[in-house]
Structure 1
């Protein structure tokens, strides 16, 4: 387990349970960034001449990691940019299903446009609520977080696949910002039509980079309107009107996207099995202890599928008490959000339990 903690010097200062807000910057990514900016400082445009080749490598790395053909991987600066560009390509008046109280960067952009909006309630009957809302409202699109940002409730891949099987014409758009980086994922068999993610959280890639994955069912159903010089530059975007290029209209920052490629290389070197194994072990220990202490909403604690993100009962006083013990968390909703990644340890959990008195 100690090998999983190497390269994260911040862990020597803090007990860090805040990946859901901001992931750590690995030493390897920091080193890449230092080298990159030195090269840019010394070479200027000579370095940028290789921009297209580097970005192609990033695209192919994402596609390889998440099983999506690289000509269906778009590079974006963050989730919100990507999602808004998609909404701009959807006909006004379309009916879109959302989860009530989902991440604001999903719900607000939809609600601010000329769409018909319907909702599924976020409660113990979430999956049934979604299915009933689809049957009742007959939406064109369902946009949702794979993992809810406040309480960590996760929709399983099996359930998403079931939706696609039952409603094949329903366009499924999943936000994976609180999910990608925690376990292996096969986009091709996921049932999603579009997956979008920022990468500064669980992928530990720093800010300013993200991606979108498209199934081959999407082209023709969206009419994205972004265009620019970058839309036609580089491999996989050779011809005018190219679908992928409409999500990449400008010049991209090789520092940020090179950071993402380096972060992916770290994941690949560690392997999904150790990552998933450590996260699974920690989240099981945490959930059982939180559950026994009555710190979780009952319906959340009883779900079979759950993430490593928890919202425990606690106020601002407790939040500051944790911070005084160098335990880094976030206040979200009506409680304190605890998020566990592969670099965390049982020893750190025991410190948390001791401070909580459970």
Structure 2
């Protein structure tokens, strides 16, 4: 793992901020440069290759344990969530965690005719009842890195007949995920998947596809895309490709290189690496008299320490401050030395 990572990454800072944005591997940077040159030179195919989109789709599918036929591509999680929100009947109850990321919450709230219930994260399973149509939550919370009790949520949803929408943006790429265990998953590509903005993935279970209308479908949603160029699409793709958004080719040419790197290393190995670094950081913080959010997440949050973020930045340590919380997030390109550098700055 070390040699492969060393060949792909050379950050010029102590970068502990993947929960905001992941770093691009060298192979991905070269791919986007090549396409940009083709766009500038007017070479045939310079607009981009849909084969790269399908390669990224297939790689993501393997990473999350589903068939590529269950994956739709897009540009943002908010658009995927809005598609699901639009499919619900008026008056449907949606249960979400308090403090959930706004892209997961807002599309349901702006409908105005849904019953949206916000409950504590650890009370999600208890809040799901016979009247619940959908429970939506992130597997790892953006604000503080807490990992949701997903087995309990799945059991509650199964008992009540509710569907589940899981946002894996803060976990896919380091936390093992079986996307097939959920009706829908949405994932931003620009964090732990090491893709640029403009890449996102929606998985749709076969039975959930029956009630999801392809509202933003264009020709790419057709079973025969190039036979669907003019007029309405007459036959949508039988797969989740019917929900594809027109892709940003620059982004997806990059993703087609980044995602296979994660496959080469393996999510289990990355999980062990990330969580070991996070545990080292939590232990060091505790020794310094700070109280990080407990758990075994690869994301470490320290309430009340957000004010130290500018000091860390001046020292070349990149972290995030959110709502007074200092958040450090670890990924495959980080090391023990990165952890110790951050602790050294915080020790004064």
2:277 touches 2:335 (CA, 8 Å); kept in 1? yes
Counterpart among 264, 267, 270 of residue 269 in structure 1: 264
Aligned-partner Cα distance in 1 for 2:335–2:87: 44
| 1:71-86 correspondence runs (5 A) | 71-86=69-84
- What TM-score do you get using the length of structure 1 for normalisation? 0.86
1:200 touches 1:206 (CA, 8 Å); kept in 2? yes
1:146 touches 1:174 (CA, 8 Å); kept in 2? yes
1:286-314 Cα distance to aligned partner (Å, 9 max, x none):
223334545336xx41x4xx321122144
Aligned-partner Cα distance in 2 for 1:274–1:121: 31
Counterpart among 158, 169, 172 of residue 177 in structure 1: 169
Corresponding residue for 1:247? 243
Deviation of 1:160 after TM superposition, in Å, equals 4.1
Deviation of 1:54 after TM superposition, in Å, equals 3.0
Structure 1 stretches of 4+ with a deviation exceeding 4 A read 314-317
1:244-274 Cα distance to aligned partner (Å, 9 max, x none):
3542253x22221121111111112222343
Query: Structure 1 317/91 Cα, relative in aligned 2: closer, same or farther at 3 Å?
Result: closer
Aligned-partner Cα distance in 2 for 1:319–1:147: 22
Counterpart among 211, 217, 227 of residue 201 in structure 2: 211
Q: Mark the runs of 5 or more structure 2 residues left unpaired by the alignment.
A: none
Aligned-partner Cα distance in 2 for 1:89–1:273: 35
**Aligned partner of residue 261 in structure 1, secondary structure:** helix
Query: Structure 1 319/46 Cα, relative in aligned 2: closer, same or farther at 3 Å?
Result: closer
Deviation of 1:2 after TM superposition, in Å, equals 4.0
Query: Structure 1 95/322 Cα, relative in aligned 2: closer, same or farther at 3 Å?
Result: same
Q: Mark the runs of 5 or more structure 1 residues left unpaired by the alignment.
A: none
2:307 touches 2:321 (CA, 8 Å); kept in 1? no
**Aligned partner of residue 8 in structure 2, secondary structure:** coil
Query: Structure 1 317/165 Cα, relative in aligned 2: closer, same or farther at 3 Å?
Result: closer
| 1:41-190 correspondence runs (5 A) | 41-48=40-47, 51-113=49-111, 114-122=113-121, 126=122, 129-135=123-129, 138-167=131-160, 169-188=161-180
Aligned-partner Cα distance in 2 for 1:282–1:332: 21
Query: Structure 1 45/91 Cα, relative in aligned 2: closer, same or farther at 3 Å?
Result: farther
**Aligned partner of residue 171 in structure 2, secondary structure:** coil
- What TM-score do you get using the length of structure 2 for normalisation? 0.89
1:193 touches 1:218 (CA, 8 Å); kept in 2? yes
